[in-house]
Amino acid sequence: MNTRTLPGHEEMLRAFQNRSARYDGVFFTGVRTTGIFCRPVCPARKPKPQNVEFFATARDALYSGYRPCRRCRPMEPAGSPPEWLRGLLADLDADPSRRWKDQDLRERGLHPDRVRRWFQRHHGMTFHAYGRARRLGLALEQIREGVGVSTTAYQHGYESLSGFNEAFRQLVGDAPRSSADGLVLQVTRVLTPLGPMIAGGTDEALYFFEFSDRRRLERQLDRLRARLDCTLVPGGNLLLERTAAEVAAYFAGSLQRFSVPLVAPGTDFQQSVWEELRNIPFGETRSYADVARAIGRPTAVRAVARANGDNRMAIFIPCHRVVGSDGRLTGYGGGLWRKQHLLDLESGVSQAGLFADPES
């Protein structure tokens, strides 16, 4: 059985009854009357409190005789697209320039409202808005490569240059020509055992990596846009694929140090704090005061805490390894339960000796 500490019983019960997405990945609920186990967010009718028990992992629930729920699919990573949507997503990735209509969805046996709701929940925009953003992202790349604006507009299905310019301005905030030299960050979701995360980067480096439900996420991205004068567009590239692969290896317990290149814009002070965070060994923790002393600013404990909170590179810049002076967990943008999970994961891997030198 998994030894990871779970939240209190009453806390988990409230989260399950309220279908709290913030606890997705923290625990699984077994329903004694049906023999099924579910995620906290399961849309099925909730059983009576006396008929449930909680598990740290899906594996624990399976070993206790429960079978996975068919509605919330607890064996899949949180945020995974449902089976009925996967064909559409595959076609969208294969041809992101295609313009989809509601009739196209109906011909595939999909109800447009159902597709819209899923995209709004997981991407913060409708399916059609997502498709437009993908097309405009491709258009921006073409313009930056020297293709004419008019040619690009008609290649991407716009019947008028004015319509293309207006759509482009809504996405980028500027006209196509003046945006040709700007930085473009491709943005995609990365599924993890702690819920979906948002990754953004170029072909050369990762610029942010955060939990998709973090409350300050939008503010962080706005600051990043302002600092870099960049454009965020849905899409992917080889570096983001590499990012997802390394994150998967980390959660599987087979990766201790990331190799993805990072660009983390910030003040000189923030940079010094973030660099020190990367020096904290895997499986260990430091206090805010420890970090302040390490960067030569022993009285700047509160400023270190603020820099910790301003980190846009969750896990890669391991702010989760910083705790209070008494060892207690303190603020974490993704939620303290996630911080505890990450520390438990790293501590368990280190104790298992998975990274010991085989020659030693």
DSSP state of 262: B
Alpha-carbon gap, residue 175 to 167, rounded angstroms: 10
Question: Class assignment of domain 268-350?
Answer: mainly alpha
Please write the tens of the pLDDT for every residue from 230-264.
777 777 789 999 999 999 999 888 899 999 999 99
Q: Where does the pLDDT of residue 86 fall: very low under 50, low under 70, confident under 90, or very high at 90 and above? A: confident
268-350 has the same fold as 83-180 = yes
Q: Is the pTM of this model over 0.85?
A: no
- The sign of the dihedral angle between the CA atoms of 151, 225, 204, 236 is negative
Give the least confident one: 39-43, 72-76, 136-140: 136-140
pLDDT value of residue 23: 82
The stretch 270-287 carries a mean pLDDT of 94
**pLDDT higher at 21 or 30:** 30
The stretch 306-330 carries a mean pLDDT of 90
Helices and strands: H and E segment counts in the chain: 14, 10
Alpha-carbon gap, residue 279 to 257, rounded angstroms: 11
Q: Which CATH superfamily is domain 9-68 in?
A: DNA Methylphosphotriester Repair Domain (3.40.10.10)
- Does residue 68 contact residue 36 with C-beta atoms inside 8 Å? yes
Please write the tens of the pLDDT for every residue from 314-324.
999 999 999 98
Query: Mean pLDDT highest for which of 58-67, 122-131, 348-357?
Result: 58-67
Please write the tens of the pLDDT for every residue from 181-219.
567 788 888 888 887 888 989 889 999 999 877 777 778
Mean pLDDT of the chain: 80
User: What are the residue boundaries of the structural domains of the chain, listed by start?
Assistant: 9-68, 83-180, 184-251, 268-350
- Does residue 273 contact residue 307 with C-beta atoms inside 8 Å? yes
Of the CATH numbers 1.10.3720.10, 3.30.70.1350, 1.10.10.60, 2.40.160.10, which one belongs to the domain with range 83-180? 1.10.10.60
Q: Where does the pLDDT of residue 296 fall: very low under 50, low under 70, confident under 90, or very high at 90 and above? A: very high
**Residue positions annotated with a catalytic role:** 319
